[in-house]
Chain A
Amino acid sequence: MNKTINNRAWFLVIPVVALVAFNALIPLMTVVNYSVQETFGNNEFFWSGVTWFEQVLRDDRFHGALGRQLFFTGTILLIEVPLGIAIALTMPKKGPWVSVCLVLMALPLLIPWNVVGAMWNIMALPDIGLLGHTLNELGIDYNYTRQPVSAWVTLIAMDVWHWTSLVVLLSYAGLVSIPEAYFQAAKIDGAKSWAVFRYIQLPKMKRVLTIAILLRFMDSFMIYTEPSVLTGGGPGNSTTLLSIDLVKTALGQFDLGPAAATSLVYFLIVLLVSWVFYTLMMRNEES
Protein backbone atom coordinates (compact mmCIF):
# COMPACT_ATOMS: atom_id res chain seq x y z
CA MET A 1 0.00 0.00 0.00
CA ASN A 2 1.37 3.45 -0.79
CA LYS A 3 1.32 5.51 2.38
CA THR A 4 0.86 9.24 2.73
CA ILE A 5 3.73 11.16 4.26
CA ASN A 6 2.33 12.88 7.32
CA ASN A 7 4.40 13.70 10.39
CA ARG A 8 1.31 14.47 12.41
CA ALA A 9 0.79 10.71 12.59
CA TRP A 10 3.18 10.96 15.54
CA PHE A 11 0.24 12.17 17.63
CA LEU A 12 -1.43 8.80 17.14
CA VAL A 13 1.67 6.99 18.32
CA ILE A 14 2.25 9.06 21.46
CA PRO A 15 0.27 6.86 23.93
CA VAL A 16 2.15 3.74 22.86
CA VAL A 17 5.52 5.46 22.95
CA ALA A 18 4.82 6.93 26.38
CA LEU A 19 3.73 3.61 27.91
CA VAL A 20 6.50 1.54 26.40
CA ALA A 21 9.15 4.16 27.12
CA PHE A 22 8.13 4.23 30.79
CA ASN A 23 8.39 0.45 30.94
CA ALA A 24 11.42 -0.04 28.76
CA LEU A 25 13.74 2.96 29.03
CA ILE A 26 13.74 3.47 32.79
CA PRO A 27 14.44 -0.18 33.66
CA LEU A 28 16.93 -0.47 30.82
CA MET A 29 18.84 2.57 32.07
CA THR A 30 18.76 1.09 35.58
CA VAL A 31 20.41 -2.01 34.21
CA VAL A 32 22.99 0.03 32.30
CA ASN A 33 23.65 2.00 35.45
CA TYR A 34 24.31 -1.10 37.56
CA SER A 35 26.45 -2.66 34.87
CA VAL A 36 29.13 0.04 35.13
CA GLN A 37 29.18 0.47 38.91
CA GLU A 38 30.49 -1.33 41.95
CA THR A 39 28.70 -1.37 45.26
CA PHE A 40 29.55 -2.41 48.81
CA GLY A 41 26.00 -2.00 50.06
CA ASN A 42 24.43 1.04 51.80
CA ASN A 43 23.41 2.38 48.41
CA GLU A 44 26.94 3.63 47.74
CA PHE A 45 28.07 3.15 44.19
CA PHE A 46 31.45 3.59 42.52
CA TRP A 47 32.25 3.84 38.83
CA SER A 48 33.82 0.62 37.66
CA GLY A 49 33.84 0.99 33.88
CA VAL A 50 33.67 -2.19 31.88
CA THR A 51 35.07 -4.49 34.59
CA TRP A 52 31.80 -6.38 34.93
CA PHE A 53 31.55 -6.91 31.20
CA GLU A 54 35.09 -8.24 31.07
CA GLN A 55 34.37 -10.52 33.98
CA VAL A 56 31.14 -11.83 32.47
CA LEU A 57 32.55 -12.38 29.02
CA ARG A 58 35.41 -14.43 30.51
CA ASP A 59 33.22 -16.24 33.01
CA ASP A 60 32.92 -20.00 32.52
CA ARG A 61 29.53 -19.94 34.18
CA PHE A 62 28.21 -17.53 31.55
CA HIS A 63 29.79 -19.53 28.73
CA GLY A 64 28.18 -22.68 30.10
CA ALA A 65 24.73 -21.11 30.36
CA LEU A 66 25.04 -19.57 26.90
CA GLY A 67 26.15 -22.88 25.42
CA ARG A 68 23.24 -24.74 26.98
CA GLN A 69 20.88 -22.00 25.82
CA LEU A 70 22.12 -22.23 22.23
CA PHE A 71 21.85 -26.02 22.33
CA PHE A 72 18.31 -25.82 23.69
CA THR A 73 17.12 -23.22 21.17
CA GLY A 74 18.79 -25.03 18.26
CA THR A 75 17.32 -28.39 19.22
CA ILE A 76 13.77 -27.21 19.70
CA LEU A 77 13.84 -25.22 16.43
CA LEU A 78 15.10 -28.30 14.56
CA ILE A 79 12.29 -30.42 16.02
CA GLU A 80 9.39 -27.98 16.15
CA VAL A 81 9.66 -26.38 12.72
CA PRO A 82 9.69 -29.56 10.56
CA LEU A 83 7.19 -31.28 12.85
CA GLY A 84 4.88 -28.26 12.78
CA ILE A 85 5.00 -28.10 8.97
CA ALA A 86 4.30 -31.86 8.70
CA ILE A 87 1.28 -31.62 10.98
CA ALA A 88 -0.07 -28.54 9.20
CA LEU A 89 0.23 -30.35 5.85
CA THR A 90 -1.80 -33.31 7.07
CA MET A 91 -4.51 -31.29 8.80
CA PRO A 92 -7.97 -31.22 7.20
CA LYS A 93 -8.59 -28.07 5.12
CA LYS A 94 -12.32 -27.81 5.67
CA GLY A 95 -15.16 -29.42 7.54
CA PRO A 96 -16.12 -29.68 11.20
CA TRP A 97 -12.78 -31.20 12.22
CA VAL A 98 -10.86 -28.03 11.46
CA SER A 99 -12.23 -26.16 14.48
CA VAL A 100 -11.77 -29.19 16.73
CA CYS A 101 -8.14 -29.55 15.67
CA LEU A 102 -7.41 -25.84 16.02
CA VAL A 103 -8.96 -25.53 19.47
CA LEU A 104 -7.28 -28.66 20.84
CA MET A 105 -3.92 -27.73 19.37
CA ALA A 106 -4.05 -24.17 20.67
CA LEU A 107 -4.82 -25.34 24.20
CA PRO A 108 -1.19 -25.78 25.38
CA LEU A 109 -0.42 -22.20 24.30
CA LEU A 110 -2.88 -20.81 26.85
CA ILE A 111 -1.68 -22.64 29.91
CA PRO A 112 0.28 -20.48 32.38
CA TRP A 113 3.95 -21.32 32.03
CA ASN A 114 4.41 -22.46 35.59
CA VAL A 115 1.45 -24.83 35.17
CA VAL A 116 3.15 -26.25 32.08
CA GLY A 117 6.22 -26.89 34.22
CA ALA A 118 4.16 -28.35 37.07
CA MET A 119 2.23 -30.51 34.64
CA TRP A 120 5.35 -32.09 33.18
CA ASN A 121 6.81 -32.36 36.62
CA ILE A 122 3.83 -34.44 37.78
CA MET A 123 3.81 -36.34 34.50
CA ALA A 124 7.50 -37.24 34.64
CA LEU A 125 7.78 -38.27 38.30
CA PRO A 126 9.77 -41.51 38.07
CA ASP A 127 7.63 -43.53 40.49
CA ILE A 128 4.09 -42.19 40.17
CA GLY A 129 4.01 -40.09 36.98
CA LEU A 130 2.49 -41.41 33.77
CA LEU A 131 5.62 -40.85 31.68
CA GLY A 132 8.21 -41.69 34.31
CA HIS A 133 6.41 -44.82 35.49
CA THR A 134 5.84 -46.10 31.95
CA LEU A 135 9.47 -45.55 30.93
CA ASN A 136 10.78 -47.29 34.03
CA GLU A 137 8.34 -50.19 33.53
CA LEU A 138 9.73 -50.54 30.01
CA GLY A 139 13.14 -50.99 31.56
CA ILE A 140 14.51 -47.58 30.64
CA ASP A 141 16.37 -46.04 33.55
CA TYR A 142 14.73 -42.64 33.79
CA ASN A 143 14.93 -40.07 36.57
CA TYR A 144 14.91 -36.42 35.60
CA THR A 145 15.93 -35.16 39.00
CA ARG A 146 19.13 -37.18 38.97
CA GLN A 147 20.26 -37.79 35.39
CA PRO A 148 21.12 -34.83 33.17
CA VAL A 149 20.12 -36.78 30.05
CA SER A 150 16.64 -37.51 31.41
CA ALA A 151 16.29 -33.89 32.47
CA TRP A 152 17.18 -32.67 28.98
CA VAL A 153 14.85 -35.12 27.25
CA THR A 154 12.00 -34.03 29.51
CA LEU A 155 12.80 -30.35 28.97
CA ILE A 156 12.83 -30.68 25.19
CA ALA A 157 9.70 -32.87 25.16
CA MET A 158 7.98 -30.24 27.26
CA ASP A 159 8.89 -27.43 24.91
CA VAL A 160 7.87 -29.45 21.85
CA TRP A 161 4.56 -30.18 23.58
CA HIS A 162 4.11 -26.55 24.53
CA TRP A 163 5.05 -24.70 21.36
CA THR A 164 4.87 -26.94 18.26
CA SER A 165 1.23 -25.84 17.93
CA LEU A 166 2.38 -22.29 17.28
CA VAL A 167 4.32 -23.47 14.21
CA VAL A 168 1.36 -25.64 13.18
CA LEU A 169 -1.12 -22.76 13.40
CA LEU A 170 1.13 -20.36 11.52
CA SER A 171 1.95 -22.86 8.76
CA TYR A 172 -1.70 -23.79 8.53
CA ALA A 173 -2.66 -20.13 8.12
CA GLY A 174 -0.16 -19.92 5.26
CA LEU A 175 -1.42 -23.14 3.65
CA VAL A 176 -5.13 -22.29 3.60
CA SER A 177 -4.35 -18.97 1.91
CA ILE A 178 -3.13 -20.80 -1.23
CA PRO A 179 -5.81 -20.62 -3.96
CA GLU A 180 -7.23 -24.00 -5.04
CA ALA A 181 -6.33 -23.17 -8.66
CA TYR A 182 -2.62 -23.66 -7.89
CA PHE A 183 -3.22 -27.26 -6.89
CA GLN A 184 -5.39 -27.95 -9.92
CA ALA A 185 -2.70 -26.58 -12.19
CA ALA A 186 -0.14 -28.77 -10.47
CA LYS A 187 -2.41 -31.79 -10.92
CA ILE A 188 -2.80 -31.13 -14.64
CA ASP A 189 0.98 -30.86 -14.96
CA GLY A 190 1.25 -34.20 -13.17
CA ALA A 191 3.36 -32.79 -10.32
CA LYS A 192 4.39 -35.21 -7.56
CA SER A 193 3.41 -34.30 -4.01
CA TRP A 194 7.02 -33.44 -3.19
CA ALA A 195 7.09 -30.98 -6.09
CA VAL A 196 3.80 -29.46 -4.94
CA PHE A 197 5.30 -28.97 -1.50
CA ARG A 198 8.62 -27.63 -2.73
CA TYR A 199 7.35 -25.23 -5.39
CA ILE A 200 3.86 -24.23 -4.22
CA GLN A 201 3.34 -24.78 -0.51
CA LEU A 202 6.78 -23.97 0.89
CA PRO A 203 7.17 -20.63 -0.95
CA LYS A 204 3.69 -19.62 0.18
CA MET A 205 4.57 -20.50 3.78
CA LYS A 206 7.87 -18.65 3.71
CA ARG A 207 6.53 -15.48 5.29
CA VAL A 208 4.63 -17.14 8.14
CA LEU A 209 7.50 -19.52 8.75
CA THR A 210 9.85 -16.58 9.21
CA ILE A 211 7.47 -15.22 11.85
CA ALA A 212 7.27 -18.67 13.45
CA ILE A 213 11.03 -19.05 13.62
CA LEU A 214 11.45 -15.49 14.89
CA LEU A 215 8.88 -15.97 17.65
CA ARG A 216 10.21 -19.40 18.61
CA PHE A 217 13.75 -18.08 18.69
CA MET A 218 12.89 -15.11 20.88
CA ASP A 219 10.67 -17.03 23.25
CA SER A 220 12.92 -20.05 23.62
CA PHE A 221 15.87 -17.76 24.29
CA MET A 222 13.92 -16.04 27.08
CA ILE A 223 12.48 -19.22 28.58
CA TYR A 224 12.52 -19.14 32.34
CA THR A 225 9.42 -20.33 34.15
CA GLU A 226 8.95 -23.78 32.64
CA PRO A 227 12.47 -25.14 33.21
CA SER A 228 12.71 -23.44 36.58
CA VAL A 229 9.57 -25.24 37.76
CA LEU A 230 10.47 -28.53 36.06
CA THR A 231 14.12 -28.97 36.97
CA GLY A 232 15.13 -25.72 38.67
CA GLY A 233 18.21 -25.80 36.47
CA GLY A 234 19.35 -29.12 37.85
CA PRO A 235 20.54 -31.74 38.35
CA GLY A 236 23.61 -29.69 39.20
CA ASN A 237 23.86 -27.03 36.53
CA SER A 238 22.97 -29.29 33.65
CA THR A 239 19.76 -27.49 32.59
CA THR A 240 20.62 -23.98 33.82
CA LEU A 241 19.71 -21.83 30.83
CA LEU A 242 20.58 -18.14 30.53
CA SER A 243 17.47 -16.76 32.25
CA ILE A 244 17.72 -19.17 35.16
CA ASP A 245 21.37 -18.29 35.64
CA LEU A 246 20.54 -14.59 35.49
CA VAL A 247 17.71 -14.77 38.03
CA LYS A 248 19.97 -16.75 40.36
CA THR A 249 22.61 -14.00 40.17
CA ALA A 250 20.26 -11.02 40.29
CA LEU A 251 17.49 -11.99 42.69
CA GLY A 252 19.18 -14.89 44.47
CA GLN A 253 22.66 -13.58 45.24
CA PHE A 254 21.85 -9.92 44.56
CA ASP A 255 25.09 -9.49 42.60
CA LEU A 256 23.85 -6.41 40.80
CA GLY A 257 26.91 -5.58 38.70
CA PRO A 258 27.54 -8.97 37.11
CA ALA A 259 23.79 -9.57 36.76
CA ALA A 260 23.32 -6.27 34.92
CA ALA A 261 26.28 -6.89 32.64
CA THR A 262 24.99 -10.40 31.87
CA SER A 263 21.54 -8.93 31.18
CA LEU A 264 22.89 -6.49 28.63
CA VAL A 265 25.03 -9.06 26.82
CA TYR A 266 22.04 -11.42 26.83
CA PHE A 267 19.66 -8.77 25.48
CA LEU A 268 22.13 -7.75 22.78
CA ILE A 269 22.41 -11.33 21.54
CA VAL A 270 18.61 -11.65 21.28
CA LEU A 271 18.39 -8.26 19.56
CA LEU A 272 21.09 -9.08 17.03
CA VAL A 273 19.60 -12.39 15.92
CA SER A 274 16.07 -11.00 15.91
CA TRP A 275 17.20 -8.03 13.85
CA VAL A 276 18.60 -10.36 11.19
CA PHE A 277 15.31 -12.29 11.04
CA TYR A 278 13.28 -9.09 11.04
CA THR A 279 15.24 -7.61 8.14
CA LEU A 280 14.77 -10.84 6.18
CA MET A 281 11.06 -10.79 6.95
CA MET A 282 10.60 -7.18 5.90
CA ARG A 283 12.47 -7.86 2.69
CA ASN A 284 10.08 -10.74 1.96
CA GLU A 285 7.15 -8.51 2.64
CA GLU A 286 8.30 -5.79 0.31
CA SER A 287 9.07 -8.05 -2.61
Chain B
Amino acid sequence: MRIAKWLVPTLYIVFLMLPIYWLLSMSFKSTNEILGGFTLWPREFTLANYAEIFTDSVWYNGYVNSIAYVTLNTVISVLAALPAAYAFSRYRFLGDKHLFFWLLTNRMAPPAVFALPFLQLYSAVGLFDTHVAVALAHTLFNIPLAVWILEGFMSSVPKELDETAYVDGYPFWKFFIKIFLPTIAAGIGVACFFCFMFSWVELLLAKTLTAVAAKPIAATMTKTASSSGYELGLLAAAGSLTLVPGAIVIYFVRNYIARGFALGRV
Protein backbone atom coordinates (compact mmCIF):
# COMPACT_ATOMS: atom_id res chain seq x y z
CA MET B 1 0.00 0.00 0.00
CA ARG B 2 2.81 2.35 0.92
CA ILE B 3 4.57 1.59 -2.35
CA ALA B 4 1.40 2.16 -4.36
CA LYS B 5 1.17 5.63 -2.82
CA TRP B 6 4.10 6.94 -4.78
CA LEU B 7 4.30 4.30 -7.50
CA VAL B 8 1.00 5.19 -9.21
CA PRO B 9 1.63 8.94 -9.57
CA THR B 10 5.24 8.31 -10.58
CA LEU B 11 4.31 5.82 -13.29
CA TYR B 12 1.64 8.21 -14.53
CA ILE B 13 4.06 11.11 -14.73
CA VAL B 14 6.61 8.94 -16.55
CA PHE B 15 3.87 8.04 -19.03
CA LEU B 16 3.07 11.73 -19.46
CA MET B 17 6.71 12.66 -19.99
CA LEU B 18 7.58 10.00 -22.59
CA PRO B 19 5.98 11.69 -25.64
CA ILE B 20 7.31 15.05 -24.46
CA TYR B 21 10.80 13.59 -24.15
CA TRP B 22 10.51 12.09 -27.60
CA LEU B 23 9.43 15.41 -29.08
CA LEU B 24 12.34 17.27 -27.45
CA SER B 25 14.81 14.58 -28.44
CA MET B 26 13.60 14.68 -32.06
CA SER B 27 13.95 18.46 -32.12
CA PHE B 28 17.70 18.20 -31.45
CA LYS B 29 18.30 15.58 -34.15
CA SER B 30 19.28 16.29 -37.72
CA THR B 31 16.96 15.13 -40.49
CA ASN B 32 19.59 12.59 -41.57
CA GLU B 33 19.73 11.03 -38.16
CA ILE B 34 15.93 10.88 -37.85
CA LEU B 35 15.45 9.16 -41.18
CA GLY B 36 18.58 7.04 -40.71
CA GLY B 37 17.04 4.84 -38.06
CA PHE B 38 15.98 4.54 -34.45
CA THR B 39 18.11 6.37 -31.86
CA LEU B 40 17.04 6.78 -28.27
CA TRP B 41 18.73 10.15 -27.81
CA PRO B 42 20.28 12.62 -30.28
CA ARG B 43 23.71 11.30 -31.39
CA GLU B 44 24.61 14.38 -33.40
CA PHE B 45 23.19 17.08 -31.18
CA THR B 46 22.10 20.04 -33.34
CA LEU B 47 20.35 23.34 -32.79
CA ALA B 48 19.81 23.85 -36.52
CA ASN B 49 16.05 23.23 -36.26
CA TYR B 50 15.65 25.95 -33.66
CA ALA B 51 17.94 28.29 -35.59
CA GLU B 52 15.70 27.96 -38.64
CA ILE B 53 12.58 28.83 -36.65
CA PHE B 54 14.14 31.90 -35.08
CA THR B 55 15.48 33.23 -38.37
CA ASP B 56 12.53 32.54 -40.69
CA SER B 57 9.84 35.19 -40.34
CA VAL B 58 7.07 32.78 -41.42
CA TRP B 59 7.89 30.70 -38.36
CA TYR B 60 8.42 33.29 -35.66
CA ASN B 61 5.50 35.41 -36.87
CA GLY B 62 3.35 32.37 -36.21
CA TYR B 63 4.23 32.60 -32.53
CA VAL B 64 3.69 36.36 -32.48
CA ASN B 65 0.26 35.96 -34.12
CA SER B 66 -0.81 33.22 -31.73
CA ILE B 67 0.26 35.18 -28.66
CA ALA B 68 -1.47 38.31 -30.03
CA TYR B 69 -4.91 36.80 -30.52
CA VAL B 70 -4.71 34.66 -27.40
CA THR B 71 -3.94 37.72 -25.25
CA LEU B 72 -6.63 39.78 -26.93
CA ASN B 73 -9.14 36.99 -26.45
CA THR B 74 -8.25 36.58 -22.76
CA VAL B 75 -8.71 40.31 -22.12
CA ILE B 76 -12.06 40.52 -23.96
CA SER B 77 -13.45 37.34 -22.42
CA VAL B 78 -12.54 38.15 -18.82
CA LEU B 79 -13.59 41.82 -19.02
CA ALA B 80 -17.00 40.92 -20.44
CA ALA B 81 -17.44 37.99 -18.09
CA LEU B 82 -16.74 39.90 -14.85
CA PRO B 83 -19.97 41.95 -14.63
CA ALA B 84 -22.03 39.06 -15.99
CA ALA B 85 -20.63 36.63 -13.42
CA TYR B 86 -21.40 39.17 -10.71
CA ALA B 87 -24.99 39.41 -11.90
CA PHE B 88 -25.39 35.63 -11.91
CA SER B 89 -23.86 35.20 -8.47
CA ARG B 90 -25.76 38.03 -6.73
CA TYR B 91 -29.09 38.56 -8.43
CA ARG B 92 -32.08 36.67 -9.59
CA PHE B 93 -33.49 38.16 -12.78
CA LEU B 94 -35.88 37.35 -15.57
CA GLY B 95 -34.57 34.33 -17.47
CA ASP B 96 -31.31 34.04 -15.52
CA LYS B 97 -31.20 30.24 -15.44
CA HIS B 98 -32.07 29.86 -19.10
CA LEU B 99 -29.49 32.47 -20.02
CA PHE B 100 -26.82 30.67 -18.03
CA PHE B 101 -27.55 27.38 -19.73
CA TRP B 102 -27.69 29.05 -23.14
CA LEU B 103 -24.21 30.48 -22.50
CA LEU B 104 -22.97 27.02 -21.59
CA THR B 105 -24.42 25.48 -24.73
CA ASN B 106 -21.90 27.52 -26.68
CA ARG B 107 -19.12 25.78 -24.79
CA MET B 108 -20.66 22.58 -26.16
CA ALA B 109 -20.84 23.67 -29.78
CA PRO B 110 -18.39 21.63 -31.84
CA PRO B 111 -16.02 24.07 -33.65
CA ALA B 112 -16.40 21.88 -36.74
CA VAL B 113 -20.06 22.93 -36.86
CA PHE B 114 -19.15 26.61 -36.86
CA ALA B 115 -16.03 26.68 -39.01
CA LEU B 116 -17.70 27.48 -42.33
CA PRO B 117 -20.35 29.96 -41.05
CA PHE B 118 -17.63 31.73 -39.09
CA LEU B 119 -15.55 32.09 -42.21
CA GLN B 120 -18.50 33.64 -44.02
CA LEU B 121 -19.48 35.89 -41.12
CA TYR B 122 -16.02 37.29 -40.54
CA SER B 123 -15.39 37.73 -44.26
CA ALA B 124 -18.67 39.64 -44.51
CA VAL B 125 -17.72 42.09 -41.76
CA GLY B 126 -14.24 42.51 -43.23
CA LEU B 127 -12.31 40.98 -40.34
CA PHE B 128 -11.00 37.90 -42.13
CA ASP B 129 -7.29 37.23 -41.48
CA THR B 130 -7.02 39.59 -38.51
CA HIS B 131 -6.13 38.86 -34.90
CA VAL B 132 -9.43 40.42 -33.85
CA ALA B 133 -11.40 37.82 -35.82
CA VAL B 134 -9.78 34.87 -34.06
CA ALA B 135 -9.96 36.59 -30.67
CA LEU B 136 -13.69 37.28 -31.14
CA ALA B 137 -14.40 33.80 -32.49
CA HIS B 138 -12.73 32.21 -29.48
CA THR B 139 -14.94 34.18 -27.10
CA LEU B 140 -17.68 31.77 -28.23
CA PHE B 141 -16.38 29.09 -25.88
CA ASN B 142 -14.19 31.19 -23.56
CA ILE B 143 -16.84 33.64 -22.32
CA PRO B 144 -19.15 30.88 -21.08
CA LEU B 145 -16.20 29.22 -19.37
CA ALA B 146 -15.00 32.50 -17.79
CA VAL B 147 -18.51 33.32 -16.57
CA TRP B 148 -18.81 29.83 -15.10
CA ILE B 149 -15.48 29.98 -13.26
CA LEU B 150 -15.89 33.56 -12.02
CA GLU B 151 -19.44 32.91 -10.87
CA GLY B 152 -18.12 30.02 -8.76
CA PHE B 153 -15.43 32.17 -7.15
CA MET B 154 -17.78 35.14 -6.60
CA SER B 155 -20.44 33.00 -4.98
CA SER B 156 -17.94 32.02 -2.28
CA VAL B 157 -17.55 35.68 -1.27
CA PRO B 158 -20.16 36.46 1.42
CA LYS B 159 -22.79 38.95 0.42
CA GLU B 160 -22.18 40.94 3.60
CA LEU B 161 -19.16 42.43 1.86
CA ASP B 162 -21.39 44.08 -0.75
CA GLU B 163 -23.85 45.24 1.86
CA THR B 164 -21.19 46.74 4.13
CA ALA B 165 -19.70 48.68 1.24
CA TYR B 166 -23.16 49.91 0.28
CA VAL B 167 -23.85 51.07 3.84
CA ASP B 168 -20.47 52.81 3.90
CA GLY B 169 -21.63 54.83 0.91
CA TYR B 170 -19.52 53.30 -1.85
CA PRO B 171 -21.02 53.75 -5.33
CA PHE B 172 -21.39 50.38 -7.10
CA TRP B 173 -18.55 50.71 -9.60
CA LYS B 174 -16.11 51.96 -7.00
CA PHE B 175 -16.99 49.04 -4.75
CA PHE B 176 -16.72 46.60 -7.64
CA ILE B 177 -13.28 47.75 -8.81
CA LYS B 178 -11.63 48.75 -5.55
CA ILE B 179 -12.99 46.15 -3.16
CA PHE B 180 -14.66 43.28 -4.94
CA LEU B 181 -12.16 42.57 -7.73
CA PRO B 182 -9.14 42.38 -5.37
CA THR B 183 -11.09 39.91 -3.20
CA ILE B 184 -11.54 37.50 -6.08
CA ALA B 185 -8.09 38.10 -7.62
CA ALA B 186 -7.34 34.36 -7.50
CA GLY B 187 -10.50 33.64 -9.46
CA ILE B 188 -9.61 36.20 -12.10
CA GLY B 189 -6.19 34.61 -12.41
CA VAL B 190 -7.73 31.19 -12.89
CA ALA B 191 -10.23 32.51 -15.44
CA CYS B 192 -7.41 34.17 -17.40
CA PHE B 193 -5.46 30.93 -17.28
CA PHE B 194 -8.36 28.96 -18.72
CA CYS B 195 -9.10 31.49 -21.46
CA PHE B 196 -5.43 31.53 -22.37
CA MET B 197 -5.33 27.75 -22.39
CA PHE B 198 -8.36 27.09 -24.56
CA SER B 199 -7.52 29.84 -27.02
CA TRP B 200 -3.91 28.68 -27.22
CA VAL B 201 -4.73 25.04 -27.95
CA GLU B 202 -7.59 25.59 -30.43
CA LEU B 203 -6.64 25.26 -34.07
CA LEU B 204 -9.63 24.59 -36.29
CA LEU B 205 -11.26 28.04 -35.99
CA ALA B 206 -7.94 29.88 -35.83
CA LYS B 207 -6.83 28.17 -39.01
CA THR B 208 -10.12 28.74 -40.81
CA LEU B 209 -10.25 32.45 -40.02
CA THR B 210 -6.71 33.33 -41.08
CA ALA B 211 -4.65 33.19 -44.27
CA VAL B 212 -1.33 35.02 -44.08
CA ALA B 213 -1.27 38.09 -41.87
CA ALA B 214 -2.61 36.50 -38.70
CA LYS B 215 -1.74 32.86 -39.26
CA PRO B 216 -1.20 31.03 -35.93
CA ILE B 217 1.85 28.90 -35.25
CA ALA B 218 -0.24 25.75 -35.21
CA ALA B 219 -1.36 26.38 -38.78
CA THR B 220 2.19 27.14 -39.90
CA MET B 221 3.11 23.74 -38.52
CA THR B 222 0.45 21.81 -40.40
CA LYS B 223 1.26 23.58 -43.66
CA THR B 224 4.97 22.85 -43.27
CA ALA B 225 4.23 19.26 -42.42
CA SER B 226 2.37 18.76 -45.66
CA SER B 227 4.35 20.96 -48.03
CA SER B 228 8.01 20.29 -47.40
CA GLY B 229 8.04 16.51 -47.25
CA TYR B 230 7.71 16.19 -43.51
CA GLU B 231 10.74 17.71 -41.90
CA LEU B 232 10.26 15.93 -38.63
CA GLY B 233 13.07 17.68 -36.76
CA LEU B 234 11.78 21.12 -37.65
CA LEU B 235 8.23 20.10 -36.77
CA ALA B 236 9.41 18.74 -33.43
CA ALA B 237 11.33 21.94 -32.66
CA ALA B 238 8.28 24.08 -33.48
CA GLY B 239 6.15 21.79 -31.33
CA SER B 240 8.57 21.97 -28.42
CA LEU B 241 8.46 25.76 -28.52
CA THR B 242 4.66 25.74 -28.26
CA LEU B 243 5.05 24.07 -24.85
CA VAL B 244 6.89 27.08 -23.43
CA PRO B 245 4.03 29.60 -22.96
CA GLY B 246 1.82 26.94 -21.39
CA ALA B 247 4.55 25.87 -18.99
CA ILE B 248 5.18 29.47 -17.93
CA VAL B 249 1.49 30.19 -17.37
CA ILE B 250 0.98 26.96 -15.46
CA TYR B 251 3.87 27.76 -13.13
CA PHE B 252 2.22 31.03 -12.10
CA VAL B 253 -1.15 29.53 -11.27
CA ARG B 254 0.08 26.23 -9.80
CA ASN B 255 -1.46 26.90 -6.38
CA TYR B 256 -4.90 27.65 -7.78
CA ILE B 257 -5.00 25.21 -10.62
CA ALA B 258 -6.83 22.42 -8.81
CA ARG B 259 -9.51 24.81 -7.62
CA GLY B 260 -9.71 26.39 -11.04
CA PHE B 261 -10.35 23.08 -12.74
CA ALA B 262 -13.20 22.57 -10.32
CA LEU B 263 -14.49 25.89 -11.72
CA GLY B 264 -14.27 27.53 -8.31
CA ARG B 265 -16.88 25.17 -6.99
CA VAL B 266 -14.92 23.37 -4.29
Which positions in A face B, CB cutoff 8 Å?
A: 1, 3-10, 12-13, 15-17, 19-20, 22-24, 26-28, 30-31, 86-87, 90-92, 99, 101-115, 118-120, 122-123, 127-131, 133, 161, 164-166, 168-170, 172-174, 176-177, 193, 207-208, 211, 218, 221-222, 224-225, 229, 242-243, 246-247, 250-251, 256, 259, 263, 266-267, 270-271, 274-275, 278, 285
In whole angstroms, what is the CA distance A23 to B138 when docked? 9
**Cβ-closest 6 pairs across A and B:** A110-B246, A27-B117, A9-B91, A12-B87, A30-B117, A12-B83
- Nearest B residue (CB) for A84: B12
Q: Contact mask B149-186 → A, CB, 8 Å, 1/0? A: 00000010001000000000000000000000000000
- Which residues of chain A are near B92, meaning CB under 8 Å? 3-6
Chain A residues with CB under 8 A of B263: 211
- If A23-B118, A114-B218, A176-B258 are given as contacts, then 18 extra A-B residue pairs at C-beta distance below 8 Å, sorted by A number, are A5-B93, A6-B91, A6-B92, A10-B87, A12-B86, A16-B80, A20-B106, A23-B137, A27-B114, A27-B118, A104-B13, A112-B200, A112-B203, A128-B34, A130-B22, A133-B38, A243-B111, A246-B113
Tell whether, in the assembled complex, residue A250 and residue B203 are in contact, meaning their CB atoms are under 8 Å apart. no
Query: Interface size (B, Cβ < 8 Å)?
Result: 102
The CA of A109 and the CA of B76, in the complex, are separated in Å by 22
10 example contacts (A-B, Cβ-Cβ < 8 A) are as follows A3-B89, A3-B90, A87-B8, A92-B6, A102-B254, A107-B20, A110-B243, A112-B203, A114-B222, A169-B257
Q: What 1/0 mask marks residues of chain B from 86 to 108 whose CB sits below 8 Å from any chain A CB?
A: 11111111101001010111111
A106 to B20, CA, bound (A): 13
**Residues of B with C-beta under 8 A to A278:** 101, 104
Q: Judge whether A274 and B108 touch: CB under 8 Å.
A: yes
A residues in contact with B90, CB < 8 Å: 3-4, 9
CA distance A177 to B262 in the complex (A): 11
A134–B88 Cα distance when bound, in Å, is 53
Contacts of B42 in A (CB 8 A): none
CA of A278 to CA of B242 in the docked complex: distance in angstroms?
A: 34
Set of chain A residues within 8 Å of B84, measured between Cβ atoms: 12-13, 15-17
Bound-complex Cα distance A190 to B89 (A): 42
Known: A16-B84, A110-B249, A229-B222. A23 touches B18 (CB 8 A): no
Given A218-B107, A266-B113, A271-B105, the answer on whether A119 and B19 have CB atoms closer than 8 Å is yes
Given the complex, which residues of A lie within 8 Å of B93, measured CB to CB?
A: 5-10
Whether A106 touches B203, Cβ cut-off 8 Å, given contacts A87-B9, A224-B110, is no
Chain A facing B: main interface SS: helix
Residue contact B243 to A111, C-beta cutoff 8 Å: yes
Asked if B261 contacts A170 (CB within 8 A), the reply is yes
Residues of B within 8 A of A127 (CB): 37-38
Interchain nearest-CB distance for A195 vs B (Å): 15
Query: B159: which A residues are within 8 A, CB to CB?
Result: 1
Residues of A within 8 A of B144 (CB): 20
Does B35 sit at the interface, judged by CB under 8 A? yes
Tell me if B80 and A27 are in contact (CB < 8 A). no
The answer to the question of B265 belonging to the interface, with a C-beta cut-off of 8 Å to chain A, is yes
**What are the residues of chain A within 8 A of B261 when measuring CB–CB?**
166, 169-170, 173
Q: By the criterion CB–CB under 8 Å, are B251 and A103 in contact?
A: yes
Interface: B136 (CB within 8 A): yes
Residue of chain B at shortest CB distance from A5: B92
Instruction: Give the distance to chain B from A222, nearest Cβ to Cβ, in Å.
Output: 4
